[in-house]
């Protein structure tokens, strides 16, 4: 759908964020940044970048924005490495492509999706060799390891001011709400739909905020070419019509002129959202809770037992992980670190000790079962 090119979106500046954050029109920049930070670190960074465009910047904020730029450059290098092995971004640089050069989209972390576990472990191994992460977390969806989520992290550039740098690699692009909304392993091929639906998916973890609205403003900018019927159909297919409708209505509240040119999309989403709400209600009425090993809502988490190696360990294939049962538990042996699989945050000290003993008893080259 071609939009009229003479339309303009509201400027993303301090006045815009005062409106989005429900602040007085004369609220000082410090207050805008502070309130934004209470919502999210990424929104705070976006507000600071927008303020800098207006010339509102100081020595401390200049340094922070420079560190943000270095973080984004690091993520770009990591993504390039991962893409060469078959990974693709979720949100991140897909959405950033529609932002102007002087307003880079902030990214607290980098999310990547891969087609299968073999690709996941190849990517993890390559990133370990190239970038040397200090921490690694693993989550398995379903006891039968239907899907993996691996999180690699590095210390922030400033240990007192910056959060850790995170890269998440998963075999499932959209994990749903652990209930009526199922796993959807792949993103749509259309980049606009992929970006907007990934933002809509965030609603299962948190309320939408001003940064999400800016994502919509940049993606559905004046002059963009959007297939409205396809976007509505994909939102329906991916079970995200209610969330996308909520997000676009927030956008319409601050960008009424641009949003009015997508009234057909809003109408289609309204119908699809009603259907999805009925489907979810019916599902909740029939669900009896997690059904066991085949149910992806059955989660296991990795408690790391060894340090993260800078590359595949001797005798380990770089594209495979193995589960090894021992009395009382299960080990997960990955190419770069080993884990005890647990179902909650609290782990019996005796189980932890038994896991270390079982790990030490494994012979080199043991492949598990």
pLDDT in tens, 299-320: 899 999 999 998 778 888 999 9
What is the tens place of the pLDDT at every residue in 252-283? 999 898 888 899 999 999 999 999 999 999 98
Q: How far apart are CA 284 and CA 352, in angstroms?
A: 37
Lowest-confidence region among 76-90, 238-252, 285-299: 285-299
Q: What's the rounded Cα separation, in Å, for the pair 75 and 81?
A: 10
Residue with tokens 């809502």: 297
Confidence at residue 236, expressed as pLDDT on a 0 to 100 scale: 97
The span from the CA of 152 to the CA of 127, in Å, is 9
According to DSSP, the β-strands at 165-170 and 109-113 are parallel
In the prediction, which pLDDT does 2 show?
Answer: 34
The CA-CA-CA angle for residues 255, 208, 272, to 5°, reads: 80
- Residue labelled with tokens 């990214």: 107
Say what the pLDDT of residue 363 is: 60
Q: How far apart, in Å, are the Cα atoms of 332 and each of 117, 196, 322, 363?
A: 13, 35, 6, 15
Task: Give 169-187 pLDDT, tens digit per residue.
Answer: 999 999 999 889 999 999 9
pLDDT (mean) for 58-77: 95
Best CA proximity match to 212, nearest among 222, 201, 223: 201
Residues in CB range of 47: below 8 A, 6 or more apart: 14, 17, 32, 33, 36
- Whole-angstrom distance, CA of residue 338 vs CA of residue 138: 10
Taking only the tens place, the pLDDT of each residue in 327-341 is 989 999 999 999 999
The pLDDT of residue 75 is above 80: yes
Say what the pLDDT of residue 239 is.
98
Contact 127, 81 (CB under 8 A): yes
Distance (Å, whole) CA 155 – CA 345: 23
Residue 7: CB atoms within 10 A of its CB come to: 14
Lowest mean pLDDT among 105-109, 287-291, 313-317: 287-291
Rounded CA-CA distance 168/148 in Å is 10
Contact, 177 vs 197, CB < 8 A?
A: no
Of 6-20, 140-154, 249-263, 295-309, the one with minimum mean pLDDT is: 6-20
pTM of the complete model:
0.90
Residue range 62-76: mean pLDDT, rounded: 96
Domain boundaries, the chain: 300-361
The Cβ of residue 5 has, within 10 Å, a number of other Cβ atoms equal to: 9
């Amino acid at each position: 759908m071609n939009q009229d090119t003479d339309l303009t979106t509201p400027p993303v500046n301090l006045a815009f964020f005062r409106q989005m954050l429900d602040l007085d029109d004369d609220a000082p920049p410090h207050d805008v940044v502070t309130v934004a930070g209470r919502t999210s670190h990424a929104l705070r960074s976006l507000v600071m970048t927008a303020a800098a465009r207006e010339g509102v910047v100081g020595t401390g904020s200049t340094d922070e924005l420079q560190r943000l730029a270095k973080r984004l450059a690091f993520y770009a290098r990591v993504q390039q490495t991962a893409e060469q092995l078959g990974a693709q971004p979720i949100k991140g640089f897909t959405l950033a492509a529609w932002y102007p050069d002087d307003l880079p989209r902030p990214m607290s972390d980098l999310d990547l999706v891969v087609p299968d576990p073999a690709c996941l472990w190849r990517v993890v191994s390559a990133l370990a060799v190239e970038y040397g992460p200090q921490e690694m977390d693993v989550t398995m969806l379903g006891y039968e390891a239907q899907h993996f989520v691996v999180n690699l992290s590095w210390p922030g550039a400033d240990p007192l001011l910056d959060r850790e740098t995170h890269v998440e690699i998963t075999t499932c692009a959209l994990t749903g709400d652990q209930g009526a909304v199922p796993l959807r392993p792949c993103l749509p091929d259309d980049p606009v739909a992929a970006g907007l639906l990934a933002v809509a998916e965030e609603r299962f973890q948190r309320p939408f905020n001003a940064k999400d609205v800016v994502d919509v403003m940049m993606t559905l900018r004046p002059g963009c070419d959007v297939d409205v019927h396809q976007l509505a159909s994909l939102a329906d297919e991916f079970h995200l019509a209610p969330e996308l409708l909520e997000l676009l209505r927030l956008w319409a509240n601050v960008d009424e002129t641009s949003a009015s040119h997508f009234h057909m999309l809003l109408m289609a989403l309204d119908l699809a959202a009603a259907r999805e709400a009925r489907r979810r209600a019916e599902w909740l009425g029939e669900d009896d809770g997690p059904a066991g090993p085949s149910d992806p809502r059955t989660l296991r988490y990795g408690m790391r037992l060894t340090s993260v190696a800078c590359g595949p360990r001797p005798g380990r294939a770089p594209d495979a992980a193995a589960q090894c049962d021992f009395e009382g538990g299960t080990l997960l042996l990955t190419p770069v670190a080993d884990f005890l699989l647990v179902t909650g945050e609290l782990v019996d000290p005796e189980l932890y000790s038994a896991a270390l003993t079982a790990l030490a008893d494994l012979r080199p080259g043991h492949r598990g079962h």
